Amino acid sequence: MSVSVKALCYGFGVTKLQAAVVAWFRAGHRAMPWREARDPYAIWVSEIMLQQTQVKAVIPYWERWMARFPTVTALAEAPLDDVLQHWSGLGYYARARNLHLAAKDVQATYGGSLPRTAAELRQLRGIGPYTAGAVASIAFGEAAPILDGNVARVLSRVFVVDGPPDAAATKKRLWDLAAELVPTEAASDFNQGLMELGATVCVPENPRCLLCPLRGFCGGLEAGRVAELPAKKRKKPPRELDAVAVLVERGQTVFHLRRPPDGLWGGLWEPPWVELDPGEDPADAAIRILSGNGLTATDIQWVGEHTHQLTHRTIRFSVFMATAEGQPVGDDIRWLEPTAKVGVAAWTRTLIETFVSGKRARS
């Protein structure tokens, strides 16, 4: 049976738990540039980037982003291609598109300054309950709860919450606990402290319980259940997909298409590619790609394979290079040099570097 906040009051007390987290965080925590900035916009950008992405990967992206888009106004006024180019390689590109759109909304509605409450922040695109709570509490000191994977793990163990954290009933229980726990004072340090605990001490495997400031409050530790909490959800294996991509050269440029604005890699530039039909020969698919884009091959050859791993799918590309006749035109068609500063996905960059830039370097 899970432990409630009320029950904890009759033991060590919620106030003592809150104080333990805040004191531990203030005594020492990881240095992150957005923590030093204390700028609500910088904190917002960091929280969006940190979704599904580790801190060490985010820091260089955040630094480049803030150098190019130092304010909400700068981001709102930037072209989407520039925004996606600075996000390129970070993945989950809907985050960048929503950040750009939300900046326009902030510029139009709030004069370029972020709203200060979680309720108002929730109205912006790409901001859910966690991000709203994080920005409102860290940037503005609002006593707004947060619940990310790290916090869910800490709360599941301390309060012995059974069930996978992403299950609806469990998630509601954890949000309720987070809301009861966040103090009216020091909400910023408390919430950051919970996140920091989950990231550095109350880790998924081999948690460092002896170093944890909540070891005296932890029901999971007392019950000997830390290793089994939180319950794990069974993951589905990624879907496997066979595809063909064609790198069409013209002089020093390569043919690219812009993807539709929504969905996988939305708004990014990429070489044309298709999923293989069952039993289809990859060479036939390559011809299909060219003809479907108004091009006729004058030379085409298979040059290799590339596998790109996504969270829910594995894409195995058969890669062809071609020269072709025809001059398709349109807003979503470009002939780009390999070094063009536009938004591309990681798989596109790898294909261009491997098969185009690599071939030219060997020539």
* Residue 81 neighbours by CB distance under 10 Å: 17
**185 flagged as catalytic:** no
Q: How many CA atoms lie within 13 A of 118 on its CB side?
A: 18
**Exposed/middle/buried for residue 120 (C-beta within 10 Å: 0-12, 13-18, 19+):** middle
**Exposed/middle/buried for residue 190 (C-beta within 10 Å: 0-12, 13-18, 19+):** buried
Give Cβ neighbours of residue 72 (< 8 Å, ≥ 6 apart): 41, 103, 106, 107, 112, 113, 114
Cα separation of 212 and 4, whole Å? 20
Of the candidates 335, 355, 362, the one whose C-alpha atom is nearest the C-alpha of residue 251 is: 335
Tell me which of 36, 47, 120, 325 is the catalytic residue. Answer: 47
DSSP letters of 118-137?
HHHHTTSTT--HHHHHHHHH
Give the β-pairing of 313-325 and 239-250. parallel
Cα separation of 41 and 148, whole Å? 20
Residues carrying an active site annotation: 47
